[in-house]
C-alpha cells in the first residue's frame, strides 16, 4: 500500500526580527507550530523520477516540475546517498503558495521523509535536517513538524514544550506575497528574543503570552498588500477568537480558538461571507 506523508501548514505564533547579517539574511526568533491541515506527498517505486501535482492549489504550480521543491528534494537526497532519483512522486496541493505558512518547505520535508522510507536509506534526523537546510531555511523546522523555537536564519531549531489544546483558523485573501519583498520593505528597530520558559496550560494563557509579542513583518506585508489588514480586522471580530496574527511574511493570517467547534463555526461563516478567501482550520501541535 502507498504511504501518505503529511506536509502540514507552519504557523509563526510570533516572529521577531533580531538583526541582519552581512550577507543580507535576517536573524529571527520565533515560536513555530503546525496545524493539522496541509498538503500530502506520496512516493512509489518507478524507473525514473516523476512528479504529479494535483489538488485545489495545483494550478499555481503549473510549469517545469524540476523547479518544484519536491523534485529538488528528490534529486538532492538521491545525489547525497549515491543512488538514482527514481520514484513516482505525487503532491496533493491544498495550501496556497507564497503564503507565509511554509507550504513548499513542508512539501520538501515530507518528500525527504517519503524517499528516505521508500529507498530504505535510514538517514538520521541530523542528516535529514542538514539536507533540508540546503533546500530552504524553513525545511529543517518542517522536518520536526512540531512546536519549535526557531533561531538564526531559520536553521537553528529547538523543541518547544507541548502546546495546550488550541485550534487555529487560517485565512489567506487569495493572493501570493513575495518573502524577499516583505523583508526589503521592513523598517524600524530590531527586536529582542522573546522565548518563554513554560508553556501555558490552556489556549487563553497561550494567547495572552503571544499578545505580548508580535510579528515584526506585519506592517511591511500590509503596506505591500492592504488586504492583510482587512483579514486581521475580520479575524479579530470573530466570536471566540483569542488572538489574530499574520504568519511568516504573509499573506496568510490566523486566529486562535480554545474550542475546535468555535473555529469550525467561524470558518463556515467566513466561507459564506468571503468566498474569495482560502479558509481552513486545524488543531496546533
Catalytic positions, written as ranges: 10, 138
134 exposure class (CB count in 10 Å sphere: 0-12, 13-18, 19+): exposed
Determine how many CB atoms are found less than 10 A away from the CB of residue 66.
Answer: 11
Q: How far apart are CA 99 and CA 89, in angstroms?
A: 23
Give, as one character, the DSSP assignment of residue 235.
Answer: H
Determine how many CB atoms are found less than 10 A away from the CB of residue 48.
Answer: 9
Q: How far apart are CA 144 and CA 81, in angstroms?
A: 21
Q: Are strands 253-257 and 167-172 parallel, antiparallel or unpaired?
A: antiparallel
Q: How far apart are CA 265 and CA 210, in angstroms?
A: 23
244, 236 contact by CB (below 8 A)? yes
Amino acid at each position: 500500500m502507498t504511504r501518505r506523508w503529511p506536509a502540514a501548514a507552519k504557523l509563526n505564533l510570533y516572529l521577531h526580527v533580531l538583526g541582519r547579517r552581512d550577507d543580507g539574511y535576517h536573524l529571527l526568533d520565533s515560536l513555530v507550530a503546525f496545524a493539522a491541515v496541509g498538503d500530502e506527498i506520496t512516493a512509489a517505486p518507478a524507473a525514473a523520477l516523476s512528479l504529479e501535482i494535483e489538488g485545489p492549489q495545483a494550478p499555481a504550480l503549473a510549469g517545469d516540475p524540476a523547479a518544484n521543491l519536491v523534485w529538488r528534494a528528490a534529486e538532492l537526497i538521491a545525489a547525497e546517498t549515491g543512488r538514482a532519483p527514481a520514484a513516482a512522486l505525487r503532491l496533493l496541493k491544498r495550501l496556497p503558495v507564497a503564503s507565509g505558512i511554509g507550504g513548499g518547505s513542508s512539501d520538501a520535508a515530507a518528500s525527504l521523509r517519503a524517499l528516505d522510507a521508500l529507498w530504505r536509506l535510514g538517514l538520521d534526523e541530523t542528516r535529514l535536517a542538514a539536507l533540508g537546510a540546503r533546500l530552504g531555511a524553513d525545511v529543517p523546522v518542517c522536518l520536526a513538524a512540531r512546536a519549535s523555537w526557531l533561531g538564526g536564519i531559520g536553521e537553528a531549531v529547538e523543541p518547544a514544550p507541548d502546546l495546550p489544546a488550541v485550534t487555529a483558523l487560517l485565512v489567506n485573501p487569495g493572493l501570493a506575497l513575495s518573502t524577499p519583498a516583505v523583508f526589503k520593505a521592513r523598517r524600524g528597530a530590531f527586536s529582542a528574543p522573546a522565548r518563554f520558559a513554560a508553556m501555558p496550560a490552556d489556549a487563553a494563557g497561550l494567547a495572552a503570552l503571544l499578545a505580548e509579542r508580535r510579528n515584526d513583518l506585519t506592517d511591511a506585508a500590509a503596506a505591500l498588500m492592504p488586504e492583510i489588514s482587512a483579514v486581521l480586522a475580520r479575524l479579530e471580530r470573530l466570536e471566540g477568537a483569542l488572538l489574530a496574527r499574520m504568519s511568516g511574511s504573509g499573506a496568510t493570517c490566523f486566529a486562535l480558538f480554545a474550542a475546535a467547534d468555535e473555529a469550525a463555526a467561524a470558518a463556515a461563516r467566513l466561507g459564506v461571507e468571503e468566498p474569495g478567501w482560502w479558509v481552513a482550520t486545524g488543531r496546533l501541535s
